């Protein structure tokens, strides 16, 4: 009986670990379908944040760019994109995380953000007013 309880708790904790949003995710551009970066999601002070830990660059592109398109009054302005915190202050809301923001370092725009797990992928939605865009990110093992 004790072995059964230990096995059951292991299975439950393994299932929970598989559905956690925390960890590293490969970003896929929803327009070009190309891999763009790896973002690491982490918990800080009860909120989820995410930073870019790797960029997939094409030949001739700057391998270590800065966010020169970020708003000048934002603390991320002119900071290196690798290491840049692009997701901030997401809080648990049902099966998703919301009420935070996501920065697109390519154009410097900041959007309201919602993320959730769907069939082992991370769905990332940025909102601008009533409009939104959704990307599917893949877990990095």
Q: What is the CATH number of the domain that holds 85?
A: 2.40.128.520
What parts of the chain have a pLDDT lower than 50?
3-18
Q: Is residue 131 part of a domain?
A: yes
Q: What is the pLDDT of residue 141?
A: 85
Residue 54 in contact with residue 82, Cβ under 8 Å?
yes
Q: Is residue 47 part of a domain?
A: yes
Q: What is the pLDDT of residue 14?
A: 40
Q: Is residue 4 part of a domain?
A: no
Q: What is the pLDDT of residue 30?
A: 84
Residue 45: which domain range? 23-139
3-state secondary structure of 59: coil
Single out the residue of 78, 80, 98, 79 nearest to residue 88, CA to CA: 98
The span from the CA of 114 to the CA of 128, in Å, is 12
Single out the residue of 87, 92, 81, 76 nearest to residue 40, CA to CA: 87
Q: Is residue 5 part of a domain?
A: no
The span from the CA of 53 to the CA of 74, in Å, is 20
The count of residues in the chain is 141
Q: What is the pLDDT of residue 43?
A: 98
- Report the number of distinct structural domains present in the chain: 1
Residue 80 DSSP symbol:
B
- How many other CB atoms sit within 10 Å of the CB of residue 67? 21
Q: What is the pLDDT of residue 2?
A: 54
Q: CA 30 → CA 17, 25, 34, 52, 82, distances in Å?
A: 26, 15, 8, 18, 21
Q: What is the pLDDT of residue 7?
A: 37
């Amino acid at each position: 009986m004790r072995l059964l309880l230990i096995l059951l708790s292991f299975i439950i904790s393994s299932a929970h670990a598989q559905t956690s949003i925390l960890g590293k995710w490969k970003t896929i551009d929803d327009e070009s379908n190309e891999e763009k970066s790896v973002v690491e999601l982490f918990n800080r002070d009860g909120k989820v944040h995410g930073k870019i830990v790797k960029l997939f660059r094409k030949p001739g592109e700057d391998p270590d760019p800065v966010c020169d398109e970020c708003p000048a009054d934002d603390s991320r302005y002119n900071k290196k994109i690798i290491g840049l915190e692009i997701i901030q202050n997401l809080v648990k809301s049902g099966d998703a995380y919301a009420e935070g923001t996501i920065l697109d370092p390519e154009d410097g725009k900041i959007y309201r953000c919602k993320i959730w797990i769907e069939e082992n992928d991370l769905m990332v939605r940025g909102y601008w007013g009533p409009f939104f865009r959704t990307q599917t990110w893949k877990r990095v093992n």
